[in-house]
Structure 1
């Protein structure tokens, strides 16, 4: 008997795990792309652990205190306590800079792995009946991940972060009728106020993490109940329990949850931690000392959100002012900030969440599909990716204008046309290529049959 068997026997004798052998023997498809969800989960674990460390030293307050730390340029200055505490974490707390960087890169990889996981699910059709609820839950997780990143981005209260937070406050205020109330609830009143940082800190360390944890639990519960999807088999598969037919989608062929998949998950966890550690060790993050504390009278030359919110910023930058209007007879004003920063992002997220109900399937489907065999669905996916990419480029319109030696007034109309035309062209080209491919494949089958 191996050591692993001895360990299993020891644990089973005490916890009676054999009674739940069905769960521990649950099969997981041995496909690397399916591990993206686990990467996201492990990033969240790292975020929670590093967040606890950072929370021990961070002061969510804008009250002025005298700085007496290691950064010479700020010695003896009265500055916001939140900014001072981040300086202390970065330069004076042992391992503080490393943990802060680890937290930063874990947040980025968390969002990226969720996005890649959703792209994998979309293009392989793994959202189809009966998995529509889990797709909606995953969309909610993606939104909460970006919300957690945004609220954390504001906490240092340096010049850059406070300017970005001010943009969010203006967007909340742009909501017709209830904008003022939303601004008070989320930002604690007119920005910047003494309640802003405590309010965002509360959202960042408690409200949003609790919601993310809840959705992860729901996501995993649904996954365990419904089982994984599996790539279509090339033929019958021989297993220890017998032969599984190629078209039998009620039986998953893969690794049992314990010990095989558990071992794979452990490897993925340590690889994720190693990747984040390398990033934290060699790549710097937002340099608060370079920007200095919040200065209401000043604005940094280059304001730009993180990559995963750049597409929203693109809407704000290129939408023309003539899109603003006042609803006749009501006096309700609809600004371009509201259209670009609230309406369009909400429409995009809503379209993503509702997609399984657009590409609706009556019968349950447990095999994933080849994206090349789904012309119109893949075309929609390509169009959506192009749309987000062009919108993100629009968020960097000033850099694009500088590179071309022109002004944003010249590039903005081009980008506005591109954000409409490029996705349509990309989608149509994809559909045409895949449709012709499918036609060629059917023609080859006919010739072979003859």
Structure 2
């Protein structure tokens, strides 16, 4: 018996390697859009690895220390230790600027890939019975991804980041009855206090990443347990040494997990790494040296959140102050309505949709053009978020683009937010209802394997 065979038998007797052979042959869909979930997974991996590197040099403290580094304008100044450590990472630590940029762009691509993945699932109807639980888990992962980005946004403790983070504090304390308690828990009291940065750092590097890791594990476990969706077949398919009927939804047709899908995943991994490296190498990120350390007595001229939170900022910009009201001792402010209630309703609608679009168990993906109502709802929702995001930049739109004031622009944006999404949705529905005349169809897959067990994508 060869050494290789003895080594294999040793592992097989202890880990049941032979039993895992069946999983290696599981079929995965040969659809490029199905790889968006893998992009998100790899971005999270790069976030963890780059975050570990940055964590070796970052100091989560607002205590003042004397700066003695390579930025001449701050030499000898007393500044918050968190800000000083970010300057040190950026301008002194070897590859520090590159890793910081990579971490930044990985966070943006992480959120973007989750969003695109959810759009693909929505428009192809892959959220339908029995995959509603994974849609809910995926929505939770999207919320956690934005939460991780927000908590990391404050950590440099420069003037811009601290001012932008204070918006989140104001929204937190605006919650009726329990706002001050929540502010004390998350921010350590009235923002900013000496406890603010340590608490946000704790949330950013441990609590939220752990929750994301658990969510990803649950997401993957459900994917493995359930059969993945696949594009409708044009006819009977010869795969895995047998013929699979075009309507047989008990069998999965696609690429074998090993070696085909493994090779595809490796390509996606390196393409993700190359994309992030190119972004980190050529595109700058937030310049902390330009803004300087946090100064409670000053406010930067232009404050706005990242693109994936801009729609929430848009709600805050458009809601009039007269919407605030009180019921006895309970005060409901426009900050609470625009920053908590409306975003909460948006995510509640996203979570609830699979239970609204109830149907019999579905195995195959759908052609969005054959689903007038869901597609119309999706188009209207995308238009709603886009217009709200534009509203978050109303000051730039007014002063730099239109040469006017926000008082002129805001009513127009409000009318657009209320009127354009229903209009787009209605037009989409009418166009698709007239064209929808056949069964749901989709792009042809490239089947090379068949699997009657649980699959790998939603």
Distance 2:410 2:72 in 1: 42
Aligned residue number for residue 345 of structure 1: 343
Q: Describe the SS at the equivalent of 2:89.
A: helix
1:140 positional shift? 0.2
Q: Answer yes or no: is the 8 Å Cα contact 2:40–2:109 preserved in 1.
A: yes
Aligned pairs (5 A) from 1:48-197:
48-197=48-197
1:15 positional shift? 3.1
Q: Which has the higher helix share?
A: 1
1:200 positional shift? 0.1
Q: Describe the SS at the equivalent of 1:254.
A: strand
Aligned residue among 380, 392, 417 for 2:415: 417
Would you say how many aligned residue pairs link Structure 1 and Structure 2? 433
Deviation per residue, 1:365-394 (Å, 9 max, x gap): 110000000000000000000000000000
Deviation per residue, 1:396-425 (Å, 9 max, x gap): 000110111110011011111111101000
Aligned residue number for residue 375 of structure 1: 372
Aligned residue number for residue 447 of structure 1: none
Q: Answer yes or no: is the 8 Å Cα contact 2:387–2:417 preserved in 1.
A: yes
Q: Structure 1 length normalisation: TM-score? A: 0.94
1:9 positional shift? 7.3
Q: Describe the SS at the equivalent of 1:79.
A: strand
Q: Answer yes or no: is the 8 Å Cα contact 1:12–1:18 preserved in 2.
A: no
1:391 aligns with 2:417: no
Distance 2:274 2:316 in 1: 37
Q: Answer yes or no: is the 8 Å Cα contact 2:371–2:436 preserved in 1.
A: no
Q: Describe the SS at the equivalent of 1:338.
A: helix
Aligned pairs (5 A) from 1:138-287:
138-287=138-287
Aligned residue number for residue 36 of structure 1: 36
1:24 aligns with 2:24: yes
Higher normalized contact order (CA 8 Å, seq sep 6+, divided by chain length): 2
Aligned residue number for residue 355 of structure 2: 357
Q: Describe the SS at the equivalent of 1:366.
A: coil
Deviation per residue, 1:305-364 (Å, 9 max, x gap): 11000000000111111111112xx22111000000000000001110111001012x21
1:26 positional shift? 1.1
Deviation per residue, 1:198-223 (Å, 9 max, x gap): 00000000000000000000000000
Distance 2:132 2:11 in 1: 35
**Structure 1: gaps spanning 5 or more residues:** 1-5, 443-450
Q: Describe the SS at the equivalent of 1:58.
A: coil
